[in-house]
Amino acid sequence: IGKHKTAFEQDNFDHPYDADELHTWAQWGTMGGKRLIHGDADTPEMAKIMREKLPATFEVESGRRKLPQFVWSTDTDEVATQYLRLPGSDDRVGEIRGTGAYVCTVGTELDYYDETGTHVIGEYKILHDRPIAYIPYAKFQEIMKLYLITGPSAKLTFDKITKGAPKGERHHTAVQ
């Protein structure tokens, strides 16, 4: 993905990148769905819940907040993108990134300014190098139902994948 978390390039289907090319980039990501569930914890509390309730799996530490992202394999290509909450609250404390949504991954660097105004470059790193654990999607949904915020889910359309999402819509489209 590009410098500003651009989900797609205009010619992504015409130019699949190999591992050597990807390693020259500062930022890249993986797509949810197609038998993958990406869990993105935005608070330590949600990270703890996901670790306690779900199978231990490969984890990546985010480049800015240093919180974990999890990835599980599953039995379906269609994984819903959903927000996570703590019981008794509707505040967003993470996401399940499903079909058509992307997550930054290992090696991605983020340029940002911290709360003191200091320029920082954060890097996504492997937190727990384990095999990707398998969980049936119905079981995942059952375990996490207390923590899911239900509602409409925006997906990237084929047109957006092939032509690129309009500027200003890329991140919103990809994580909704």
pLDDT tens-place string over residues 27-86: 667 777 789 999 999 999 999 999 999 999 999 999 888 999 999 999 998 899 899 999
Check residues 148 and 4 and name the one with the higher pLDDT: 148
pLDDT tens-place string over residues 123-163: 999 999 999 999 999 999 999 999 998 654 434 445 555 55
pLDDT of residue 127: 95
Return the structure tokens found at 153.
């889910």
pLDDT of residue 27: 62
pLDDT tens-place string over residues 80-130: 989 999 998 889 999 998 887 878 888 888 888 889 999 998 999 999 999
pLDDT of residue 25: 58
CA nearest neighbour of 30 among 60, 10, 75, 74: 60
pLDDT of residue 164: 56
Check residues 36 and 173 and name the one with the higher pLDDT: 36
Rounded CA gap, 111 and 172, in Å?
Answer: 19
Rounded CA gap, 91 and 76, in Å?
Answer: 28
Check residues 117 and 5 and name the one with the higher pLDDT: 117
Return the structure tokens found at 169.
């819509």
Rounded CA gap, 176 and 173, in Å?
Answer: 6
Residue 170 has pLDDT above 50, yes or no: no
Q: Are 37 and 79 in contact (CB under 8 A)?
A: yes
